[in-house]
Amino acid sequence: MDFQKIKEASQFIESKLTVKPELALVLGSGLGVLAEEIENPTIISYQEIPYFPESTVSGHKGQLVIGTLEGKTVLAMQGRFHFYEGYTMQQVTFPMRVMKQLGIQSLIVTNAAGGINETFNPGDLMIITDHINNMGTSPLIGPNDDRLGARFPDMSQGYDKAYIQHALQCAEELNLSVQTGVYVGNTGPAYETPAEVRMLRTLGGDAVGMSTVPEVIVASHGNMRVLGISCISNMAAGILDQPLTHDEVMETTDMVKQNFLQFVKKIISSLPMNR
Ligand code: HPA
């Protein structure tokens, strides 16, 4: 990844800001509403930012919203880039490089995902404890720039343990029942077959989606602390006797919006910011 491009993009963003963001948020399908709660927002469309790709999926807006949320200065991505859209892994994860360059050390990633674990229900929120990269590639393939991270980064702490504990504590204080589990990243864009869902369950997956894994790999490469939250928007293929649609995904995320907002805001308000 071209260091010069990362610097140009981050300098452009800095030129629009009078504040220094300390926490980044990636808002997944149907979860962009959180950005609407950001106070004194500066909005920067992805199109304006040098070297940023443009987002194409419905339910994804394609802009950065920077401002104050629960007393923290946040930079939110309202809409993200997916590998299935045809972007390279480096494009998909370019924003995480820019976040790091901006001095941001903590990241909350959210997504909509299909439930593999049969004890889950649509509408559940799942704190991601770990992931399985089932995309068959990695954003770190290619020459390593040591300024960005190590050649062989450790992934045993990809999802910050203290952040997981903090999120569980917040859920308890809100009386919100949440799941924990392993997120499997698939490329998509087709949803899984029932046989694939059984395979992923055997492999240890609890939820499956088409994002997050590349982003968390790059955030780890940059030594950022990550918290991941999945909204279980549907049961994965073959579990219930019904076809999957993107509309169902959007409907469920819309339904749990209030829980999601309340939960993430509570997490942010007291999130530990330094290692
Ligand atoms: N599979 C993959 N990605 C998804 C799903 C699913 O069932 N639901 C939402 N994103």
What does the DSSP assignment read for 122-179? TT-EEEEEEEEE-SS--TT-S---TTT--SS---TTSS-HHHHHHHHHHHHHHT---E
> Does the CB atom of residue 112 touch ligand 1 within 6 A?
yes
144 inside domain: no
pLDDT over 90 (residue 241): no
Distance of CA 263 to CAs 25, 36, 119, 169, 170, Å? Answer: 14, 15, 21, 11, 7
14 inside domain: no
When pLDDT is averaged across residues 94-111 and rounded to a whole number, the result is 97
pLDDT tens digits for 23-79? 999 998 778 889 999 999 999 999 999 999 866 655 557 899 999 999 999 999 998
12 inside domain: no
User: To test the ligand 1 pocket, which listed residue (230, 233, 239, 256) has its Cβ within 8 A of the most ligand atoms?
Assistant: 233
CATH number at residue 59: 3.40.50.1580
**Count of domains observed in the chain:** 1
**What is the pLDDT, as a whole number, of residue 58?**
54
**What is the pLDDT, as a whole number, of residue 246?**
86
When pLDDT is averaged across residues 245-266 and rounded to a whole number, the result is 88
**What is the pLDDT, as a whole number, of residue 60?**
55
Instruction: Print the domain residue range for 159.
Output: 19-138+155-269
Which residue's alpha carbon is nearest to atom 5 within ligand 1? 114
Atom of ligand 1 nearest to the CA of 209: 3
How confident is residue 249, by pLDDT bands cut at 50, 70 and 90?
confident
164 inside domain: yes
Which residue's alpha carbon is nearest to atom 9 within ligand 1? 113
274 inside domain: no
As a whole number of angstroms, the distance between CA 212 and CA 188 comes to 13
146 inside domain: no
What percent of the chain has pLDDT above 90? 85
169 inside domain: yes
CB of 208 within 8 A of CB of 233?
Answer: no
Alpha carbon dihedral 38, 52, 21, 154, in 10-degree steps, equals 120
> Does the CB atom of residue 31 touch ligand 1 within 6 A?
no
8 inside domain: no
**What is the pLDDT, as a whole number, of residue 237?**
93
pLDDT tens digits for 122-168? 999 999 999 999 999 999 999 999 999 999 999 999 999 999 999 99
Centre of ligand 1 from the C-alpha of residue 235, in Å: 8
How many CA atoms does the CB half-sphere of 187 hold within 13 Å? Answer: 12
